[in-house]
Chain A
Amino acid sequence: QQQVKQSPQSLIVQKGGISIINCAYENTAFDYFPWYQQFPGKGPALLIAIRPDVSEKKEGRFTISFNKSAKQFSLHIMDSQPGDSATYFCAASKAGANNLFFGTGTRLTVIP
């Protein structure tokens, strides 16, 4: 059973463009939704996270949009740069539980 579904699998964006990655979940007990960035050969690094009591969170060029009724959340990368080229994972977890459920990842390539 796939707890968190992520799309697209890969994404190519021009430098300066907007990158959008989408995730959907089924379990309404999830109450914490982080995004991780992973470069080849490295571990996932926490990028930004949101709780369901807000619909949007912005940190610099990165924004999470959250739609509780649709059980969807997305990552927007504004003014995408070649240095943003990485794999992005969405994840979710429940209060009181310890494990993160990860999406399948999106490989982002930003073309100069």
Chain B
Amino acid sequence: EPEVTQTPSHQVTQMGQEVILRCVPISNHLYFYWYRQILGQKVEFLVSFYNNEISEKSEIFDDQFSVERPDGSNFTLKIRSTKLEDSAMYFCASKPRTGEREQYFGPGTRLTVT
């Protein structure tokens, strides 16, 4: 069964450094998402991406964040200058097409900012 994959599984970085989290959505899915989950808290929406542009973003997704689909398979989240409060699990998700509501999540990347 196709699944969303994410790399790395765990990333440790120093405050102020740039990080790039990578995702490979399910093939032939058209909608892509990033969510985050601070330890012990609920999953929060960051951004959605369709047709090579951001379609929605939350107030968490400020100028420090950016997303990109550099080729036909990868979907990346970049945090330009990490802060301690960026430490969280970051989940990528994808959805097949317009009208379909089910989003399929990857296993996540644990980001630790020290």
Q: Do A and B come from one complex?
A: yes
Size category of the binding interface on chain A: 20 to 34
B54-73 contacts to A, CB under 8 A, are 55-56, 58
State the main secondary structure of chain B at its contact with A. strand
Q: With A49-B102, A98-B33, A100-B103 in contact, do A42 and B108 touch (Cβ < 8 Å)?
A: yes
Closest to A43 in B: B105
Closest to B107 in A: A43
A89 with B48: CB separation less than 8 A: no
Size category of the binding interface on chain B: 20 to 34
A102 with B42: CB separation less than 8 A: yes
**A101 interface residue, CB < 8 Å from B?**
yes
A105 with B42: CB separation less than 8 A: yes
CA of A78 to CA of B61 in the docked complex: distance in angstroms? 39
Q: With A98-B31, A99-B48 in contact, do A44 and B42 touch (Cβ < 8 Å)?
A: no
Closest to A99 in B: B45
**A93 interface residue, CB < 8 Å from B?**
yes
Could you list which residues of chain B lie within 8 angstroms of chain A, going by C-beta atoms? 4, 31, 33, 35, 41-45, 48, 50, 55-56, 58, 91, 95, 101-108
